[in-house]
Structure 1
Amino acid sequence: MAVEKFMGTTPQRAFVGIIIIQAIAVLAMIGIAFAFVEVDVRTSSDSRYKTIPCYLAMFGLAEIFELAMALDALKARNIVQLVGILAFHLGLVVFAALQVDEAHTALDLSKEAGCNTFAVLCDGSLWRKVEPFFIVNPIIIAVSWIFMLFFVRKLFEEFGWAVFELVGANPLTKTMYQWYQIMICLLKFDFFFFGSVTMQLIILVLASNSVEFGLTVAAIPIVLLLLVGAGIAVQREIKWLMSISLVIMLAAETYFSKQEIDMGLLLYKLVRFYEPSSRGEYISTRATLTFFTIIAFIILFMTFGVGLRCFSDFDKGLTQAKVQTVPEKVIYSSPNSPGVGGDRQSNYLDRRLSIE
């Protein structure tokens, strides 16, 4: 029996192929819609019209991220990350569905009194032209998710026993390793969702000369260092660095205000989307910004909790398993091998049952 090589099996290639095909299809639909909009509307003239190019950028980032996560999960035989990708893909379905209404709000002003902007917006003709390209996207993503689910089940069978090669059959050690995998997976999703919220705010909403713009940009390297530091700390079991990372995670979920300068990340941003003084700035982006911000808040909170769990497992003999990789070829003797063949086959079955 052997651990198959990276991209060496049909389920692995099919899983990656589905992601690539649906990415091409979705980006093509958005690209066509963007091209139609650019012909008739100057998207840079008003923040509400930037919804389409931002949507294109967001999906481009999401598809690249998902492909990178898939390749990484297959390389590492990480079943936890494959499940995370399925959840992320469902999030893309929700995001694509939300964009239908937000693009409608941005591109169809026919119901607004005294519309005097672009004619194609005032009579709704532009929206009717691009509407099919928006509606088809959540359908494409949902159908691709069904196929991905089928092949993840195949990959679960393929990778199900590979953890044994790293941590052995001890249930306690196996559980600690699974929590470690969850932590690393959450850190990666933290990176994406924080980057997504930040990108949308910078492109769509914030004025480059505002205090909030400067604070948002300044937060980017801080959060990146936090996530990288937390990843290194949990892998190498560096207690002082893990302690600092957990404290900053907790602080990042709160917001503070002093006089006229607001500081903070997630909860502060969420409040800004709905308070009367600023809600008008987010008229065509509120739904997706709310969705991404809430998901980012939940994932960061989960990361903090799982980080505490992983911290409690430090110095329990898991460090070596965290830094080594599964060998791509691990050969077991066949039942016909002289001497110990039957015992090897029995051991393999015991190992398989232990993992499952």
Structure 2
Amino acid sequence: MAVERFLGTRAQRSFIATILFQTVAVLVMVAIVFRLVEDHVDFNTSRYKTIPCYLALFALAEIFEILLALDALRLRNVIQLAGILLFHGALIVFAALQIHETKSALSKAEDDCQGNINCNGVLWRRVQPYLIVAPCVIGVSWPVLMFFVRELYFEFGWAIFHVVGANPKMKTMYQYYQIMVCLLKFNFFCFIGVSMQMLILVLSSSSAEFGITIAAVPVVVFLLVACAVAVQREIKWLMSISLVLMLAAEAYCIYKLVRFYEPSSQAQYLSTRATLTFFTITSFLLLFATFAVGLRCFADFDKGLQYSKVYGSGQSSYTPVKQPLQDLSEETSTDGMNMGQRQSSYVGGSHLQPRISIE
């Protein structure tokens, strides 16, 4: 059974079209809100800086989802498609939080009113409908995506079969590898989200914590990239360092959560606490899951999966992975035919066993 080409089926095209439609609709709403608010408030004011930051982060999340969807379809990765559904659900929560944060930023006390449009909540009532449309569009598209992911699940069921063959143990190990790579991608987005909010909205450029956050950016990016390389190439020492750094990152997430709510520092995070808490808790859970799956992947090193991980995924043609020549030369049939030539078109790296003829 042949594996369909990239975007070559109705389910693939419908899935990506749904995400594109939703993204365009949400980005239009975000642009309208940004324009309406920009005309009447000064974004350089600290209380209004949250609005462009959240809108930019929301737009970044939509673009990230498109790239993730294209990547999942290109790799025939059903696990990443399931991760996109979870990410989509998180977008609904983030969109709802954005309504709350924007309202808090635009709310002004009566004694601050001087006859401008923001007085008595006029500006808020003007932008509120556009903010409400965003989670509604995302929510409506969610079950549609679930339907197409179900179709893609059956369509891509042969993808792993092409890569690792019919061995159940190899299939399980490869699935854990796919989960690990998928978690690393989501970790990257959550880290970018937390860093943007901390650097733009909360921390002063002259504070020590600002410098620590800046320094943490390349460290975390290195951690994610190094972990991806280590798990694919099965580099044990690099994987060990990555796992240790994950534990350190989890400890940092707990430290930041305490800082958000302890009396001595909670005022600093008052206007951004809800969204920062959501992103930080999500980051902690993702890191915990990544660490646990990373241990499982580490245990699967040197068990014959490296060749499939390096050469099996990401092939543009989606042809079965060929075994190394030395493996092929060892297996011949009783009539002199090389068994590599009789390999099935859908068993990937697994060989057919020699058949005994009764003739």
Aligned-pair CA distance for 1:325: 3.2
Q: 1:294 aligns with which of 264, 281, 288?
A: 281
Structure 1 match to 2:233:
236
- Superposed, 1:1-356 pairs within 5 Å as 1-46=1-46, 48-109=47-108, 112=109, 114-115=111-112, 119-254=116-251, 265-325=252-312, 328=317
In 2, Cα distance between equivalents of 1:222 and 1:107: 36
* TM-superposition CA deviations, 1:8-31 (whole Å, max 9, x none): 111111111111111111111111
Distance 1:86 1:97 in 2: 17
For 1:334, the equivalent position in structure 2 comes to: none
Distance in 2 between the 1:117 and 1:93 partners?
Answer: 35
Q: Which amino acid aligns with 1:130?
A: V
Contact in 2 for aligned 1:27/1:56 (Cα 8 Å) = no
Tell me which structure has the larger Cα radius of gyration.
Answer: 2
CA RMSD of aligned residues (A): 2.1
Distance 1:236 1:247 in 2: 18
**Retained in 2: the 8 A contact 1:20–1:67?**
yes
Identity %: 59
Q: Is the contact between residue 30 and residue 59 of structure 2 (CA under 8 Å) also seen in structure 1?
A: no
Runs of 4+ in 1 over 3 A off after TM superposition: 116-122, 325-331
Maintained 8 Å contact 2:5/2:318:
yes
Secondary structure, counterpart of 1:40 in structure 2: coil
Q: Does the CA-based 8 Å contact 1:12-1:155 persist in structure 2?
A: yes
- Residues 118, 101 of structure 1: CA spacing in aligned structure 2 closer, same or farther, 3 A cutoff? farther
Structure 1 residue 35 displacement after superposition: 0.7
Unaligned runs of 5+ in 1: 255-264, 332-343, 352-356
Q: How many residues align?
A: 324
Moved more, 283-292 or 309-318: 283-292
Q: Is the 8 A contact 1:103 1:284 kept in 2?
A: no
Which amino acid in structure 1 is aligned with residue 287 of structure 2? L
Secondary structure in 2 aligned to 1:307?
helix
**Superimposed CA distance per residue, residues 98-126 of structure 1 (whole angstroms, 9 cap, x where no aligned partner):** 111111111122xx363357843341111
- 1:230–1:241 contact (8 Å) kept in structure 2: yes
Distance of aligned partners of 1:221 and 1:330 in 2 relative to their CA distance in 1, 3 Å threshold = closer
Aligned residue type for 2:276: L
Cα distance, 1:240 vs structure 2: 0.4
Letter aligned with residue 14 of structure 2: A
Distance 2:22 2:85 in 1: 14
